[in-house]
Every structure is written in C-alpha cells, then in structure tokens.
Structure 1
Amino acid sequence: MVIVFVLVALAVLAAVVALHHYVWRRLVRDTTRAPGPARRAGTALFVAGPLLMVAALVAERSGAPFWLQQALAWPGFLWMALALYLLLTTVATEPVRWWANRRRGPAASASPAPTAEAEQVPTAEVEPVPAVSVPATDTVVTAPVSPPAPAPSDFSRRLFVSRVAGGVVAGVAVGTVGWGTYGVLRGPRVKRVTVPLAKLPRAAHGYRIAVVSDIHLGPVLGRDFAQRVVDTVNSTQPDLIAVVGDLVDGSVKNLGPAAAPLAGLKARHGAYFVTGNHEYFSGAAQWVAEVRTLGLHPLENARTEMPYFDLAGVNDVQGASEGQGPDFAKALDGRDPARACVLLAHQPVQIHEAVRHAVDLQLSGHTHGGQLWPGNLIAAAANPTVAGLERYGDTQLYVSRGAGAWGPPTRVDAPSDVTVIELAALSA
C-alpha cells in the first residue's frame, strides 16, 4: 500500500512539473528575446508558485503550526487556482499560435537564383592575375555549418504573437481567479427551493429549513467569514437550521475562535449538525463536542421528532475509517412510516441507503458544485447529484454548493449559497 501511494504521489508530482513547464515555456520563454531580468522573474514565479502550493497542502494535512499554515495558505492555494486557469487558457490559445505562425518567413541566408536576364549582362574584362603557388597540404579546414537563422521578420512575428497570447492568458486567468475569490469572500448568497413532500401535514406547509454546508473554516476563511455566514442564515428567518458537514479544516485549538460566531445561529426549532469528511481529518469527536457548546445539536446516527416530521442525521462515510461510519438502521429504524422524514447526510452518495430506508428528503453538500470549473465534470463522475434537487424513486435529494471553499478561496461557475428549503404539503 505504501509503495502504491508513493508511486501515485510521484506520478502526480511529475504531472504537476510537466504542466508547469509547458505553461512556463509559453508565457515566459516564448515571450522574451533572451535570458534577462524578465525571464528570470517569470521563472522564479513558476518555481515558487508550485512549491508554495505543495507546502500549503502539506502544512494543512500534517498539522503544522497554525501561523505557518496561514502564511502558506493564501499564496499557495491562490496559485493552485491561478495555475489551473493559466493552463486551460494557454491550451485554448494554441490554435491561434499555430494559425499565426503557420507560414515561416524566408530564411535569412537564402539568396535569389540568377535569372536569364542577369546571365546575359556582359561583364567587364579584368586583367589576369598572376598565379601564386600555394604549398600543398594534406589538411583540409572546413568551417562549421549551422542551420540558417529565421529571418528577423519571422522572429518578430512569432514574438509578437507569443506576447499577445501570453497577455490574454494572464489577463483571463488573473481576472477569473480574482472574481471567483471575491465571490467567496463576500459570503454566500441565499437560494430558495420549494420541495413538496407527500407525507407532510397541511399545518407544515411553508416550513423553512436553512441548509448550510461546507463552510471550511481554516487558515484562509476565519471568524469574519463565519460571521457573514451566520448573518446570511439568520436573515432568512428559518424554522430550522441544518449544518450538513465540512464545517472546519483544523483543530478546535486553532479554529475554536473562528467558529464562535455559530453560537449566534437562530431558528425557531434550533440548529442541527452532522459530520462531513473533513471533520474526520480534523478530529471529529472534538468538533462534535465543540458545536454542542455553541448551541448546535449533533445528530450522530440519530433521529429526533420535530413538530411535523422526523429529522435524522448520519455520520459521514469517512467516519468508517475510525469506526464511526454512518448507521442508517440506528438513525431510521423504528420510526413512524406515516410521518415524513428529512435526513441530513453530508455526501450525496449516501442517497442509495436513504432510498432503501424510505427517507422522503435527504439534504447534502460535499461537492461544492465543482468549485472550480471544469471541476463539476469530475464531481459529476463521483456523485449522483452535483448540485440542486433531484428525485430517486420516492426520495428527493437536495445538494447545496456550500457556503465556503476548500483549498483556493475561489469559486468559478459554482457560486456559494445558503439554501432555504421551503417544504410544501401536497394537500395545501
């Protein structure tokens, strides 16, 4: 197993190096005439960027001192997003480069062939030059032959095209990452979805559940961001708040102050919490205890009866590695089948067990909606639903894109949200 992990890590590292080298060639080497300050600065950036990216990942996963995680996170994770869009935009400009450079200028060393008219021009008579004898030698000296250099006009055209393409690439990539980062830091926007439930009593028509997932408090998103999320949730005046996992990326010691604003969450029937996979990377037991002190009610494979429906929650699948995995039977068996059931489960893949246990509605997160396009394509390959509401038999699944972001504090084509689920009774 260790050998497989090392081989995979080496393969990923080799791919990262190769892709960075490709982008460096296009954006640095091809846009500079010769080694100089500009090329050296560009090369330094393409060396420091990936090193900081790897260091940020290692620091977070290894539990390095929190000040070091914070110092590395901003430049390292932002480079991760920037490198992705530099690569995608560079690849997109390749057809333009090829089209603009498909005709090469004449070789500088080439000379026109003599014409017939030129051969007919008489030449002036020249006095014969006395012959000079040269000592014979067995050594023949030949000058080295080098390939002809491209004509100045051809070189200038290629340099111009490379610089224009490089400017477009840099502008698009920086603009995309800048706008996507602003979208995360300003806080999630409210999304409203109506979900009809056949078993919901008429008295519960219009019941509002505020769903918030994937806040990802950590070395980048801290206390101020948590307060923005709390303010957004409270502004919806929900009847119930569901925090469906991936609240943090770090220990209570480091992130307890950042999570403190969650104590301000307000709903008529309280706030409930289930673990996500990142809680198990950070120490799930300590966070379950911490959120309880903040006034949230953890549902660890448990169920509670609300006035109009049953609310259940299961642990994330990552908990199985610690013997704390999801237990649907414990959470759902023995309930009144005539009552509607809403299940909190962090990952959408848990929908299949929810269907088997006749759950009416599952609320999930985890996918971030892909977070960075085209990450939605990868997320779609690993999850039954990436974002939004879908039906699986008699069970409906709603997947939130999440409020925060993991790694780069950046989202592209996957805006963050707090979703207000408004339950609708069919008899209303």
Structure 2
Amino acid sequence: MVQLLWETVWHFLKRRGLIRACPSDEREAVQKKTFTKWVNSHLARVGCHIGDLYADLRDGFVLTRLLEVLSGEQLPRPTRGRMRIHSLENVDKALQFLKEQRVHLENVGSHDIVDGNHRLTLGLVWTIILRFQIQVIKIETEDNRETRSAKDALLLWCQMKTAGYPEVNIQNFTTSWRDGLAFNALIHRHRPDLVDFSKLTKSNANYNLQRAFRTAEQHLGLARLLDPEDVNMEAPDEKSIITYVVSFYHYFSKMKALAVEGKRIGKVLDQVLEVGKIIERYEELAAELLAWIHRTVGLISNQKFANSLSGVQQQLQAFTAYCTLEKPVKFQEKGNLEVLLFSIQSKLRASNRRLYVPREGCGIWDIDKVRLRMHGDSWRRQNMSGRLPYGLS
C-alpha cells in the first residue's frame, strides 16, 4: 500500500515536471503500470484483480490463475499456506507449466518472483505476453511471405492497416506512435464511424492519444493500458506499446473472423431459402401435373366413341391435337420436375444436409405409377374398341 501511494505521488509530480526520472526508471514505471492493467484485463474474466504487480504475483495464486485464463488449461492446484516455501512451490508450478509450453525462461527462478524482483517479474510477465498474445499472430501478405518474428508480423500488420493515412508512418513501436495518429488510424481503418481522422493534426499529440484511448475503451471494450504521457515522451517504452497495440490486433482480428463467419452463415441461410423456393416450385408443378393426369385418366375411363363418321373425325382431330400439343408439354413438365428434384438433392448433398423427400403422392415415382396406369387404361380401351383413345404412349 505504501509503495502504491508513493508511485501515485511520483506520477503526479512527474506530470507536472517537478521531478525528472532517469530513462530506465521511467520505462520500468510505465511497464509496471501497463503490465498490471494487462494482467487485470485478463483476470477480470475470473473475478480476480491485483493492485501491485510485484507483490501480488509472489504467492503464485494469481500467476496460476492468469496462466489458466490465457491457456485455457488447468494447472496443478496451488498449495495452501502463507509460508515462503508454499509460495516457492506455487510459483515453481507456474514456471514448470511455461516450460512445458516451450517458453524459454532466461535467468528467472521461483525465488526471483517470490522475492519481488522488479526486473525479473517484469521480464516474466513480458515473456507470458509474448507467448500467449504475440507469438500467435499470423499475417497474410499478398506475396505469401512469412515474417521472421511475431514482433515483425505485428509491425507489418500495423503498416498494412495504416497504409495511405497522411502523416502516419509506422517504423517501430516507440516514436512512430508518439503523435497518436497511428492509434487513430488503426481504429478508423476498422471502424470509420468512431474517428474523424481528417480533423486530427500531428501537432496535437496528447489530444490524439486521449481520443484514441478513450474510443478504444468505450466503444471497443479494450482496457486502457496506456496514458498519453506514457507515449508522448522522448523514448516511449517499446514493450508497453506492443502490449497495447496487440490488443487492437486481437480485437480487430476477432471482428474480421466474426464477419467472415457471419457471411458464411448468411450464405448458408441464402442456400436454405433458395432450396426452399425450389422445393416449393417442385411441389407446385408436381401437383399440377398429377391433377392433369387424373383428369386425363377420367376422360379416358369415361370415353364414349361416336357412332357417326363426323363424330369419329372430330374425336380423331381432338386426339391429334392432344398428341401434338398437350401431351409433349406435359412430358416436358415431367422432365422439368426431374431436373428440379436433382437440383434440390445436389444442393443438399453439397451442404451435408438431409436429402429432400417429396410429400406422399408428389414424387417422380408417384407420377410414373399414375402415368403407367393411365397408359394401361388407354391400351385396354384401344383393344376393346379398335380405335385410338386418349392416353400417354
């Protein structure tokens, strides 16, 4: 608590220019503040919070929870107890888990964390950030070149997203961000509704930074890991800026993934609607064709042949018109039905969906069965009368 109070007073006096710290001390202070906020942004998912990075990681409990949140895996349960040996055991379990994750821990032992070593505690947190936030970055370039390191990949991503923005030229993770334009450009590229980039000026750095950080916090839900004075300085801390920038990368990458998934779902829904319309059309045509066949069967069954020459001639003319005009159209409609059914089943197979089963009486086989019965009735009447009846041959 005393140390936290002293740091608050120190930052207050520094902002007003009443004290000047050496660059290394200043960078360490910024790193501690940034890393603390970063840890809390992830611990919030499990209802945890730390106040002092150096003190609150010492017993190994918070460190274990952090690694479980980041990895999605369950670590060995921490040992209960407040003695130093218990803390050493718990921290050692966390470090062992990192080693199993192929994380190289250079000169960091459990005693360094338990003793609250500032430099090595910051180094451990940075190693965790690298492993779970930065090393997972994959950038797709037009020529499919692979970048050599995750840091280079993140820098390339920033350059690609801010290309074309006036006075934005990201060459590093230090001075390239001082005027705040790069942060605003990243937000504007993905959410142009949140930033009016044309109204920002390079000379108004603190305003630009404040605007970007507030927008990211309020509209994107990104934890405010930095303050304007942490960036608008002679030598901004690289690790702190990378830690903040990578949160933009993960947010916008997730937004892109959700957009792609939304398009995929939309495409599936479009396909469902399209297949539904084809099925509706199929059943409509099948019903019409079946109704025609039943009507024709009725005409054939009730057909009475004329006893006069003129009557027979009229029936022959009607039969000729049927054979040349009506019958071919109906056969074409049956062919269209077969094409529609094939199209329906092909689309359903392509999307791994259950095949369509026409309702009873509307299948192609049902139409064929009725058609064969009509065909048989026609031939029976022809054999009985010796004349040409209506019917499908």
Q: Which has the higher contact order (CA 8 A, sep 6+)?
A: 1
Compare CA radii of gyration and give the structure with the larger one: 2
TM-score (norm 1): 0.21
TM-score (norm 2): 0.22
Structure with higher strand content: 1
